[in-house]
Amino acid sequence: MTVKRRNHGRSKKGRGHVKFIRCDNCFRSCPKDKAIKRFNVRNMIEAAAKRDMAEASVYESYDVPKVYYKQQHCIACAIHSRIVRVRSRVNRRNRAPPSRFRKEFKKPTGAPTAAVKASA
């Protein structure tokens, strides 16, 4: 019989049975090893309220605590909300985690533009 995935879409291996979880989005029952799990990390306070708290606070610097929330989705909801993507048959074999990227914020500097205007 042809097999679409090496692990049959699960990470069960030698276990006969795995507990079921409920999808956070649709509440569908899904095996825990098959569910798509992601950690959602957010600041406890939004940016606007954070500035207000900083002005009213006695402390000069205060790190706002973060909320760590583990999300568990069924496959259908994970694909629909683009947490995971459908991959081609060739790319499905790739088991390496996707490369992480960080956004680099470049501050605009006024010096190069001033030098161009002065030379012109």
pLDDT recorded at residue 63: 85
pLDDT recorded at residue 83: 93
- The token pair that represents 90 in the structure block: 């060739």
Q: How far apart are CA 40 and CA 71, in angstroms?
A: 7
Low-confidence ranges of the chain (pLDDT < 70): 105-120
pLDDT recorded at residue 118: 58
Q: How far apart are CA 72 and CA 25, in angstroms?
A: 8
